[in-house]
Structure 1
Amino acid sequence: MTGLQDLASARPSWSVVLVFYLRVMSLLLIGGGVIHWARIVGLTPWRGLMFWDMPTEWQAAIIFFAVLDLVAAIGLWLAVSWGTVMWLFRAISQIVMHTLFSDVYGRRPYEIAFYLLTIAIYLILIYLMERENRTN
């Protein structure tokens, strides 16, 4: 039993875990932003179409997420509040895009589930961090 207690006491604080989580999310957003910019400059197609051949709605979404991904990534890496707001705005925008506007952008249930899961993990980490801060 002392092994579990030692393990629990050696765990980093929840605020450290939260910053680590935000930085992992930041790296994912950097990757997504780079992919979006690769589509814009013509390095890679999306659903078999080059950027200039896509419908205007897709072009607008790609530009929107190309900018938003990199801005949110910087904010998440720095662990500042606006970064979290930008990331949550980005995730919710993606969820709305693939639910309410699925006739234009397609239905992507795995992507929606991913965003909901990442938001849930973030909220759980915030709760655990606040609870830990109240007890100290």
Structure 2
Amino acid sequence: MTGQQELARARPPWSVILVLYLRCMAVLLIGGGVIHWARIIGLTPWRGVMFWDMPTEWQAAIVFFAVLDLVAAIGLWLAVSWGTVMWLFRAISQIVMHTLFSEVYGRRPYEIAFYVLTIAVYLILTYLMERENRTG
């Protein structure tokens, strides 16, 4: 047997890898949610500006993501379908915010690339899991 075949046999099922991936995303979202709430209550500024001194658009975005991050994190941790939907909605919202509304929120190409990459990894893992389930 080749080393690659042995490695494939020792690997956990793709469904387990997908759940682990979703839980890693959940941990990142919990961290993001906590940071947003720290901004709201005045513990940390965003781009050098405290929450109460920010433009209304920034305040709305921070509150939006403060709630959405934690809700999506719970759903991802539990590996339920609504959690994935909330996470994808959150990621796409962030991409739209920094592309279509970049004059308000700023252009953040590294953040956009991160979200596109995480969505691509999710889609690949989902495909591999479905393929594995079909072949038995």
Shared fold per TM-score greater than 0.5: yes
Deviation at 1:24? Answer: 0.1
The amino acid across from 2:13 in the alignment is S
Structure 2 CA distance, aligned partners of 1:92 and 1:76? Answer: 16
Q: Does 1:71 align with 2:76?
A: no
2:23 is matched with 23
2:130 is matched with 130
Structure 1 CA distance, aligned partners of 2:20 and 2:75? Answer: 13
Counterparts of 1:24-103 in structure 2, within 5 Å, are 24-103=24-103
Gaps of 5+ in 2: none
Q: Percent identity between the aligned chains? A: 88
Structure 1 CA distance, aligned partners of 2:86 and 2:108? Answer: 21
Counterparts of 1:2-21 in structure 2, within 5 Å, are 2-21=2-21
Deviation at 1:6? Answer: 1.4
The amino acid across from 1:101 in the alignment is F
Structure 2 CA distance, aligned partners of 1:27 and 1:41? Answer: 21
Q: Deviations over 1:37-85 (max 9, x none)?
A: 0000000000111000000000000000000000000000000000000
Deviation at 1:126? Answer: 0.4
Deviation at 1:7? Answer: 1.3
The amino acid across from 1:129 in the alignment is M
C-alpha RMSD over aligned residues: 0.6
The amino acid across from 1:75 in the alignment is G
Q: Deviations over 1:109-130 (max 9, x none)?
A: 0000000000000000000000
The amino acid across from 2:44 in the alignment is T
Q: Deviations over 1:85-105 (max 9, x none)?
A: 000000000000000000000
TM-score scaled by structure 1?
Answer: 0.98
The amino acid across from 1:7 in the alignment is L
The amino acid across from 1:114 in the alignment is F
Structure 2 CA distance, aligned partners of 1:88 and 1:127? Answer: 16
Gaps of 5+ in 1: none
- Secondary structure of the corresponding residue to residue 27 of structure 2: helix
Structure 1 CA distance, aligned partners of 2:54 and 2:47? Answer: 9
Deviation at 1:11? Answer: 0.3
Q: Figure out how many residues of one structure are paired with residues of the other and give that number.
A: 136
